[in-house]
């Protein structure tokens, strides 16, 4: 369906053209004086200069021309030359009725041209537990992926596991100290390796920090870990078998945790998958004269004219020939281009890595790893802070594990729900989980991604204010009205909506009609917070309508059925929005 703003704009443009003015003056925006009008056009002010005529004369002419137009209930010309517009109630009701009939998309059109977009998010590190630092990438990335899919793009989510580097050598070294007799350490062994891993996930999660701690104290230990890393990276069989055990155990656990967050990935590729592409990539960079040796290391210059700050060269290989985080990201671009040929790659990563990604992107372009047609975007997010304004920590001051954080909020929510309700324990727990997830996700996504924010459990879990639970509460309210209506033996079908009779009703209808425009804008700016802002406005508009209207006591059956359609549409749109953000609503709460 055509966006409401476009329909309105088209009419106003026609109005200008009919009076002999350039139609481009008919640009319309949402009113910044909602007390006076719903939409406005300031074009007459600009036209006045071009046509050397008083602006209010032009505005008068256009207002006159638009009189009787079925899209408007009023078009007023106001000095010095504004056009104040109000939407016709019957037109609006028809528009919403068409939205209601479009059950999947509510009138929001797919992009004309589909594109393949890869999204790199999550970025957990193998054998290290997920901590709150990984939360934002998962939540934001998942939502961008869903928004893109809704807009009609082919979205491929890749978790980009941190599974390469010293942490693997550390684990191997520690394991060797504890269980030196394991066959993986026997270099003369030529048989098959056992299928069962020699550790559990909890052992693994304990082994890594222990090893990491030891390596900081003990130089010999660290050297051993570096040696093990080197051997692993150069193909030592037993170590590679261990690596796949570490990966399997870790990935199984990660999947379980991401599932709790309602986050899923299409690809479970990791840094290690990029390694085979490094040698050819490096050769090509050297052969084409992009890479050169500087102080022993192999680098590519990436500074550009017009840089306002120093952008250091991108280091490809260290002086000992070892590859780096950079090298892996570049080689990852190689396989992504070879296997998927995406039109766009979006990286959802901590904004502190911005300079790093500037280097990687420039290097990839300069050396021809990506074609001109492939866009690279860094979507950097800020830090999640505690109430003290410092990065979120446990009460003891340690790094908060994601699992513990979620468990804490689930409990908090469970308490609230069981206070409000007589619900069976199991059902209350389930509901608490659903609502808690909305609290965490909405609390995060309602902030502009690039900003730091304060994770305030009390505020996020509140049923009032700009929170996830408030949105869910509004949906639950609508579900319960629909149930009551149907309990009277009436069918909540798709009855025609009637023209609004009150301000509350019209306010809700106007808000609904903006759905597709809001989604398009949120997608264009990769801004889930705009979906949140739209939802919050819509939920508020609904609640005002609800408090100002006796829906169930309405005696006129047609009018009541129209209210029910309005309610169904609101519910559908809100549910669509929370789906795009990656959470869902319970039936009761």
Q: How far is the CB of 325 from ligand ARG (least distance, A)?
A: 7
Question: Closest residue (Cβ) to ligand ARG?
Answer: 123
Cβ neighbours for 138, distance < 8 A, ≥ 6 positions apart: 121, 122, 258, 261, 263
Shorter beta-carbon distance to ligand ARG: residue 156 or 497: 156
Shorter beta-carbon distance to ligand ARG: residue 45 or 337: 337
DSSP 264: -
Q: How far is the CB of 162 from ligand ARG (least distance, A)?
A: 3
Shorter beta-carbon distance to ligand ARG: residue 137 or 262: 137
Please choose, from the candidates 339, 352, 460, the residue with its C-alpha nearest in 3D space to the C-alpha of residue 409: 460
Site for ligand ARG in 499-528 (CB under 6 A): none
For every residue of 530-586, DSSP letters joined together read HHHHHHHHHHHHHHHHHHH--TTT---HHHHHHHHHHHHHHHHHHHHHHHHHT----
Shorter beta-carbon distance to ligand ARG: residue 351 or 571: 351
Quick one: CA dihedral 159, 161, 162, 165, positive or negative?
A: negative
Q: How far is the CB of 360 from ligand ARG (least distance, A)?
A: 8
Tell me which stretch binds ligand ARG (CB under 6 A): 8-16, 49-57, 119-127, 500-508. 119-127
Shorter beta-carbon distance to ligand ARG: residue 46 or 376: 376
Shorter beta-carbon distance to ligand ARG: residue 26 or 162: 162
Q: How far is the CB of 123 from ligand ARG (least distance, A)?
A: 3
* Other beta carbons less than 10 A from residue 190's beta carbon: 7
CA distance 261 to 352: 24
How remote is the C-alpha of 59 from its chain's centroid? 42
Q: How far is the CB of 431 from ligand ARG (least distance, A)?
A: 33
State which of residues 162, 197, 342, 469 lies at the interface with ligand ARG (CB under 6 A).
162
DSSP 464: S
Tell me which stretch binds ligand ARG (CB under 6 A): 11-19, 120-128, 200-208, 441-449. 120-128
Tell me which stretch binds ligand ARG (CB under 6 A): 117-125, 165-173, 436-444, 535-543. 117-125
Shorter beta-carbon distance to ligand ARG: residue 15 or 162: 162
Task: Please give the backbone phi and psi of residue 68, each rounded to the nearest 5 degrees, phi first.
Answer: 80, -5
Q: Is 11 in the site for ligand ARG (CB under 6 A)?
A: no
Q: How far is the CB of 292 from ligand ARG (least distance, A)?
A: 24
Kindly determine how many residues on this chain lie close enough to bind ligand ARG according to the rule CB under 6 A. Answer: 8
Q: Is 160 in the site for ligand ARG (CB under 6 A)?
A: yes
State which of residues 8, 127, 300, 349 lies at the interface with ligand ARG (CB under 6 A).
349
Q: How far is the CB of 378 from ligand ARG (least distance, A)?
A: 10
DSSP 465: S
Structure tokens at 2: 């055509």
- Return the percent helix, strand and coil in the chain, to nearest 5: 55, 10, 35
Site for ligand ARG in 287-346 (CB under 6 A): 329
Q: How far is the CB of 357 from ligand ARG (least distance, A)?
A: 8
Shorter beta-carbon distance to ligand ARG: residue 379 or 417: 379
Residue 303: C-alpha distances to residues 310, 314, 360 (Å): 7, 9, 12
User: SS3 sequence, 216-232?
Assistant: HHCHHHHHHHHHHHHHH
Is residue 373 classed exposed, middle or buried when 0-12, 13-18 and 19+ CB atoms within 10 A define those classes? exposed
Q: Is 120 in the site for ligand ARG (CB under 6 A)?
A: yes
Structure tokens at 333: 């671009």
State which of residues 56, 258, 347, 414 lies at the interface with ligand ARG (CB under 6 A).
347
State which of residues 40, 77, 125, 143 lies at the interface with ligand ARG (CB under 6 A).
125
Tell me which stretch binds ligand ARG (CB under 6 A): 118-126, 413-421, 464-472, 538-546. 118-126
Q: Is 174 in the site for ligand ARG (CB under 6 A)?
A: no
Phi-psi category of residue 52: left, alpha or beta, with phi > 0 → left and psi -120 to 50 → alpha = left
Q: How far is the CB of 324 from ligand ARG (least distance, A)?
A: 11
Q: How far is the CB of 349 from ligand ARG (least distance, A)?
A: 4
Cβ neighbours for 441, distance < 8 A, ≥ 6 positions apart: 139, 143, 261, 468, 581, 582, 583
State which of residues 55, 107, 123, 469 lies at the interface with ligand ARG (CB under 6 A).
123
Contact 510, 544 (CB under 8 A): no
Count of residues in the chain:
589
Q: How far is the CB of 372 from ligand ARG (least distance, A)?
A: 21
Query: Where on the chain is the footprint of ligand ARG (CB under 6 A)?
Result: 120, 123, 125, 160, 162, 329, 347, 349
């Amino acid at each position: 369906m055509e966006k409401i703003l476009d329909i309105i704009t088209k009419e106003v443009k026609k109005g200008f053209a009919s009076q002999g003015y350039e139609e481009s003056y008919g640009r319309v925006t949402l009113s910044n004086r909602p007390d006076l009008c719903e939409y406005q056009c300031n074009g007459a002010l600009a036209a006045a200069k071009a046509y050397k005529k008083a602006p209010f004369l032009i505005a008068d002419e256009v207002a006159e021309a638009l009189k009787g137009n079925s899209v408007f209930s009023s078009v007023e010309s106001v000095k010095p030359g504004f056009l104040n517009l109000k939407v016709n109630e019957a037109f609006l009701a028809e528009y919403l009725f068409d939205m209601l009939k479009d059950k999947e998309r509510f009138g929001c059109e797919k992009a004309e041209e589909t594109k393949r977009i890869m999204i790199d998010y999550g970025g957990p590190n193998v054998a290290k537990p997920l901590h709150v630092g990984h939360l934002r990438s998962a939540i934001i990335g998942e939502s961008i992926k869903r928004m893109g899919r809704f807009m009609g793009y082919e979205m491929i989510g890749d978790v980009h596991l941190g599974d390469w580097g010293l942490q693997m050598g550390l684990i191997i070294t520690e394991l060797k100290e504890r269980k030196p007799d394991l066959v993986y350490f026997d270099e003369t062994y030529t048989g098959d390796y056992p299928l069962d891993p020699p550790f559990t996930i909890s052992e693994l999660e304990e082994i890594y920090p222990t090893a990491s701690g030891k390596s900081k104290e003990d130089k010999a230990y660290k050297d051993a870990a570096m040696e093990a890393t080197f051997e692993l990276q150069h193909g030592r069989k037993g170590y590679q078998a261990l690596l796949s055990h570490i990966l399997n155990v870790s990935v199984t656990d990660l999947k379980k945790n991401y599932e709790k967050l309602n986050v899923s990935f299409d690809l479970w590729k990791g840094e290690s998958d990029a390694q085979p592409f490094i040698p050819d990539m490096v050769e090509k960079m050297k052969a084409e004269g992009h890479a050169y040796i500087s102080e022993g290391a192999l680098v590519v210059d990436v500074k550009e004219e017009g840089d306002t700050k120093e952008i250091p060269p991108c280091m490809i290989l260290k002086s000992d020939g070892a590859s780096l985080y950079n090298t892996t990201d570049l080689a990852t671009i190689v396989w992504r281009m070879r296997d998927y040929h995406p039109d766009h790659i979006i990286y959802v990563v901590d904004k502190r890595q911005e300079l790093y990604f500037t280097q990687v992107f420039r290097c990839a372009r300069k050396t021809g790893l990506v074609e001109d047609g492939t866009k690279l975007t860094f979507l950097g997010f800020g830090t999640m802070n505690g109430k003290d304004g410092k990065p979120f920590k446990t009460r003891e001051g340690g790094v908060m594990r994601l699992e513990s954080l979620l468990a804490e909020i689930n409990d908090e929510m469970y308490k609230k729900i069981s206070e409000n309700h007589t619900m069976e324990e199991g059902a209350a727990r389930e509901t608490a989980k659903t609502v808690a997830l909305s609290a965490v996700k909405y609390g995060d996504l309602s902030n502009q991604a690039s900003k730091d924010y304060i994770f305030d459990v009390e505020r996020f879990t509140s049923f009032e204010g700009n929170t996830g639970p408030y949105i869910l509460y509004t949906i639950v309210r609508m579900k319960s009205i629909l149930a009551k209506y149907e309990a009277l033996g009436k069918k909540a079908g798709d009855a025609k909506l009637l023209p609004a009779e009150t301000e509350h009703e019209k306010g809700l209808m106007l808000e609904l009609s903006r759905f597709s425009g809001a989604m398009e804008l949120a997608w264009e700016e990769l801004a889930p917070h705009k979906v949140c802002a739209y939802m919050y406005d819509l939920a508020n508009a609904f609640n005002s309508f609800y408090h100002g209207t006796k829906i169930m006591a309405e005696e006129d059956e047609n009018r009541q059925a129209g209210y029910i359609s309005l309610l169904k549409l609101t519910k559908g749109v809100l549910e669509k929005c929370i789906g795009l953000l990656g959470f869902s609503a319970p039936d009761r709460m």
